[in-house]
Structure 1
Amino acid sequence: MSLSERIISSNQGLLEEMVQLKYKAMSENAFRFFRGTCDLFYQDLKTWKEIPGSPLGWICGDLHVENFGSYKSDDGQVYFDLNDFDEAILAPVIMELVRMLTSIFLCFDFLELEEIKAVNMVQVFLRNYSAVLVKAKALPIEPRIAKGIISTFLQSVSKRKQSRLLEKRTEVRKRKLVLSLTDERHFELDKEERKELILHLTDWINNHSISPYNYKVKDVVFRLAGTGSVGIKRYMFLLESVQKRGKYLIIDMKQALGSALSPMIDVKQPNWESNAERVVFVQQMCQHMPCALLSHTNFRGDSYVMKEMQPNEDKIKFKLIQDQYRDVYQVIDDMAFLTASSHLRSSGRKGSAIADELIEFGTNQSWHQSLIDYAHSYSKKAMIDYDIFKQEFDAGTYQVMEK
């Protein structure tokens, strides 16, 4: 199959009117193209005959430098951790690592940093990942123990107020606070779907043990976010407290599809009731504390992951620190720490390797160089694929082929 055929095939089943927006986002640069083609990456990885062996672990499935960020948990603390588990699956942990290394090469190319710095950073990542496995001590990163740029980052986001999020996401219409439709990422729903969604979330609030029971639904819109997830069904709800007028929450409801890795691995998986149950279960295992109100639900035959949207949610903006090598080093080092901690937390659960196997894997570092070599080589391939994609996108190939 040609590249365009592979890309279009991988996006079948998504909302047609949104797929063009995904392609447009992917056309911005090679790094964003890589983020939007997770399944293509694993299709290609499947052909790597010399891939080193590794223990089975619960992996997020789409690990890259943009899938780490801050969030507030139900305990009220703000954490920095892995934050996207849509592709989560039981698989050899090395599959997670090689995608992360490739993302470092592509991110550094996007930032126009010297390739030698990218090579140094992937080495830093693997060294610290292995060192944390050997210690077998999974720890969180939160404001009190964070270091350097991550400490500054978490201290900053911890001070954000709910009013900041409301200001960005809402507007006043007819003297009522509603979700903004002037935001290009928000789309109005037809009356019937809007009514059904409000009734569904009202039922969730009244009957789910983790829901904010003292709130009522005020508004809902379709939401566009991310790169790889553009094209799935995603909704955003505005809730108001029934006890304190003017106190609001915003809830994200995101459709969960099957993991992009499923066709590429032969590992027996648990029997999940839904894809959303899989995503939530793995996220709860892998994060030190899951994000606030994390749960799952079913609507119109599809499963969805629920969570609270917060002003504390953010990502490290590498563009702002690209000239501060020490800060970049600290961020990559912490990402390695969190990746290893995630694998350790979920060890020995539903088929994953026990901690002793991960310790042995971390002790034997003979696999490091082969991963670096593959990731470096694949980053070059991704750049070539991006150039082809960009030319075809500009020529209208994807619009024609999608019809």
Structure 2
Amino acid sequence: MKSLPSPKARPDALRRLRNLKMARSAHAYMRGNTSQFYEWLEQADIRTLPQGPAIWICGDCHTGNLGPVANGRGKVEIQIRDLDQTVIGNPCHDLIRLGLSLATASRGSDLPGLTTVHIVEALAAGYESSFRAGKQAHLGKRPEPVHVIMREAERRSWHHLALERIEDLKPTIPLGKRFWPLARAESAELASVFESPEMVELATLLKGRPDSGDVTVLDAAYWVKGCSSLGRLRYAVLLDIDGDVVDGDDLCLMDVKEGIKAAAPRYRDASMPRGNAERIVEGARHLSPFLGDRMRAARVLDRAVVIRELLPQDLKLDVEQLSRRDARKLSAYLGAVVGKAHARQMDRAARGRWFAELRRNRSKTIDAPRWLWDSIVELVGAHEAGYLEHCRRFANGG
């Protein structure tokens, strides 16, 4: 086996890996550039964005951060699945970032420019459907890419999770491309964290597990996962509940992820938890209840972390390649998912005001807010240029 980076060599190795991942495609570059997204948005030559209601937003609302999420009772819904950037802020930021993600995927799929117009129109229509007066948010019929991944999520078991994440059914985490060795201090700290009553309660949360079950750390490793999260603390921890490792229901795989300061701008007068991990958990509870109820804030090596159990049904929606037929339906559906997450935080009057703002000042050439279209056009251009420059610098391992 190729020698794996030591804990001391880990930061440089992760930096190189992140740069290479972002060079794979313009869509991957967009996903890994949350902070630059907000810098570009601030500098873009567009009309002033509307000041939407002060609610919890995702802050990094691209297609890869949406997908099937299960609750503790096994019910599965499409929800926002990554809340690292969540803040109380302007909901139009989520809509613009999701539109940029879909437009970038369309460009990467070599679809005509007119398809991007249709994507933005469908996204706006799907999002607005959650705010219509007197109507309860309804996502409608699932488009084919969503139907496929939901069908896969609903049939998955612990064995699927084990084979996918840890490549084995044995109660260990194999070191290799995905998992790297820990320093002694990291191993000791993680073992200590999962002795706390709060983490024991989190591990026994799922239906059918004994509330008083003993929780034991079987194995742990540094997890090389994602793109935007590379370089932060990220651990996979395998737990046994009640001493019966033969039964997959008594095993759980915990994701321990460092919470860092959000790049997404917050409303200045918004009251949020001061700690980054607490902020992420609180935002998740408002935006994605299935996920938020399964998350806890903690500290590892004196750094804020968010801990959640990975369930077999938790999957990422992969839309690297879009067909012209799926593009509009998928955009409308995902717009409705985000709209539902936003709308549940507003009363009827606030939903009505925001809907009226969304419908205001439409042009004759596109049935979507002009600020949404202008933002996406400006940002697609900036990302294309940024992506090419990134490839020049890093695609060869620089």
For normalisation by structure 1, the TM-score amounts to: 0.83
**Residue from 147, 152, 155 that aligns with 1:156:** 152
User: CA–CA distance in 2 between the matches of 1:295 and 1:120?
Assistant: 40
Aligned CA RMSD, in angstroms, stands at 2.7
The 5 A counterparts of 1:35-184 are 35-48=31-44, 50-56=47-53, 57-135=55-133, 139=137, 147-149=142-144, 150-170=146-166, 177-182=171-176, 184=177
SS where residue 42 of structure 1 aligns?
Answer: helix
Q: Greater CA deviation, 240-249 or 203-212?
A: 203-212
Identity %: 19
2:4 aligned residue: none
User: Does the CA-based 8 Å contact 2:234-2:256 persist in structure 1?
Assistant: yes
User: CA–CA distance in 1 between the matches of 2:226 and 2:240?
Assistant: 26
User: CA–CA distance in 1 between the matches of 2:285 and 2:26?
Assistant: 32
Distance verdict in 2 for CA 1:285–1:137, change over 3 Å? farther
**Structure 1 residue 318 displacement after superposition:** 2.6
2:256 aligned residue: 253
SS where residue 221 of structure 1 aligns?
Answer: strand
User: Does the CA-based 8 Å contact 1:238-1:249 persist in structure 2?
Assistant: yes
Q: Greater CA deviation, 149-158 or 247-256?
A: 149-158
User: Which ranges in structure 2 are unaligned for 5 or more consecutive residues?
Assistant: 1-9, 206-210, 363-367
2:325 aligned residue: 326
2:15 aligned residue: 19
**Structure 1 residue 234 displacement after superposition:** 0.7
Distance verdict in 2 for CA 1:326–1:312, change over 3 Å? same
**Structure 1 residue 345 displacement after superposition:** 1.4
2:290 aligned residue: 289
1:360 matched to 2:359 = no
**Structure 1 residue 227 displacement after superposition:** 1.4
For normalisation by structure 2, the TM-score amounts to: 0.84
2:234 aligned residue: 234
2:181 aligned residue: 188
Distance verdict in 2 for CA 1:370–1:271, change over 3 Å? closer
User: Does the CA-based 8 Å contact 2:287-2:342 persist in structure 1?
Assistant: yes
Look up the equivalent residue of 2:151 and give its one-letter code: Q
Distance verdict in 2 for CA 1:354–1:15, change over 3 Å? farther
**Structure 1 residue 363 displacement after superposition:** 4.0
**Structure 1 residue 250 displacement after superposition:** 0.6
2:391 aligned residue: 390
1:9 aligned residue: none
1:308 aligned residue: 309
1:8 aligned residue: none
User: Does the CA-based 8 Å contact 2:57-2:88 persist in structure 1?
Assistant: yes
Distance verdict in 2 for CA 1:148–1:33, change over 3 Å? closer
User: Does the CA-based 8 Å contact 1:67-1:83 persist in structure 2?
Assistant: yes
User: CA–CA distance in 2 between the matches of 1:140 and 1:179?
Assistant: 40
Q: Greater CA deviation, 265-274 or 369-378?
A: 265-274
**Structure 1 residue 137 displacement after superposition:** 5.0
User: Which ranges in structure 1 are unaligned for 5 or more consecutive residues?
Assistant: 1-13
1:201 aligned residue: 194
User: Does the CA-based 8 Å contact 1:134-1:363 persist in structure 2?
Assistant: no
SS where residue 194 of structure 2 aligns?
Answer: helix
SS where residue 46 of structure 1 aligns?
Answer: helix
SS where residue 236 of structure 2 aligns?
Answer: strand
SS where residue 60 of structure 2 aligns?
Answer: coil
2:6 aligned residue: none
> What is the total number of aligned residue pairs between the two structures?
370
